[in-house]
Amino acid sequence: MTPPSATHDRRRPVVIASYLLMGVGLLGLLMSHLLVGLLCACVGFLAVRWFVRATVGLAQRRLPARLQPRAESLIKAVGILLVVLGPLALVALGVSQAREYVVEAPQQYRGLIDFVARTVLELRQKLPPELAASLPAAADDIQRMVANYLRNEAGTLALAGRAWLNAVLHGYVGLIVGGLAAVAQPPGYRRPLASELHQRITTFGMAFKQIVAAQFWIAAFNTALTAVFLLLVLPLWDARLPYTPALITFTFVAGLVPIVGNLVCNVVLTLVGLSVSPVTAAACLVFLILIHKAEYVINAKVVGRRTHMAVWELLSVMFVAETLFGPAGLVAAPLFYAYLKKELEAAQLV
């Protein structure tokens, strides 16, 4: 019989190799701008797994035993179809709802330019002559400044648009990969390295579930504040945004994505506010920036409580990750640090 110490010594290189592969893989995904794909793969996996388990459990209670295998296969296929077709349906719905804003965009642009021109004219009248001379004198001058800026930044804007498109495609592929992994039949036997990697991935999935649960409450908080702003604060100023129920729902759904979801809400609500008036757009932007700043601390507090991390730990990790990797590091910091701490706790090192 092999002594336990000898078995432990033989497993140690395999365990170390699994830690190294997991760490290199996560860091490589972050540096390769594939974080969106990783997060969407986790979301697709959890969503399809939850759907299949809930529906199969219902089928087992309602259907005879001879029909249950066929029903399970059908349920798995439906889960994959929901993951594949659901995002496409949301995109189609968003395009149909945004058609009005696209048609009215030139008129909104002219209104914005006129508003800026009036504001600049008032500043020219109040500022000293030497400072006022540096400001544009009319709407035509402002329009030329905007056109020149867009012409000079055309390459940067094109790269930003391509980056967003790549992120959307990576996210869509990640959803499909996660959904397929959720319904895949697990192997009957795993070799040592595969078994250790499966353990690493399982621990990472547990950390992701905790982060998602915490982000749910953060999204609910953001949605409640946004609903108060749209339904109570803006009407006090005789300003109402169109599609308010849809905007509140979108705030909650987008808020489930840490940090970035709040930024997307900022852009969407500001653009919708711009369709009402520039003043309304400015009010939306200021309000949402305040929410974004508050979310930085709230995120650390809520996530820290659910993942047993101190607020100062998570804030420090988020700060360092944002400095090193930019916005992607800020999004990944809570998840990666929660996973790291789970591994350290499992090894009884902390």
Q: How much is the pLDDT for 24?
A: 93
Q: How many CA atoms lie within 13 A of 230 on its CB side?
A: 22
Is the pLDDT assigned to residue 154 strictly greater than 80? no
> What pLDDT digit, counting tens, does each position of 236-263 carry?
777 777 777 877 887 887 777 666 676 7
* 102-106 average pLDDT score: 59
pTM (two decimals): 0.69
pLDDT of residue 266: 73
Q: Write out pLDDT tens, residues 48-68.
A: 988 888 888 887 777 777 777
pLDDT at 112 over 70: no
Going by pLDDT thresholds of 50, 70 and 90, the confidence category of residue 158 is: low
Burial 254-278 (b: 16+ CB within 10 A, else e): bbebbbbbbeebbebbbebbbbbeb
Predicted local distance difference test score (pLDDT) of residue 60: 76
Average confidence score pLDDT of the chain: 77
pLDDT of the residue at 200: 93
Query: Nearest-5° angle of CA 64, CA 66, CA 70?
Result: 105
Contact 234, 280 (CB under 8 A): yes
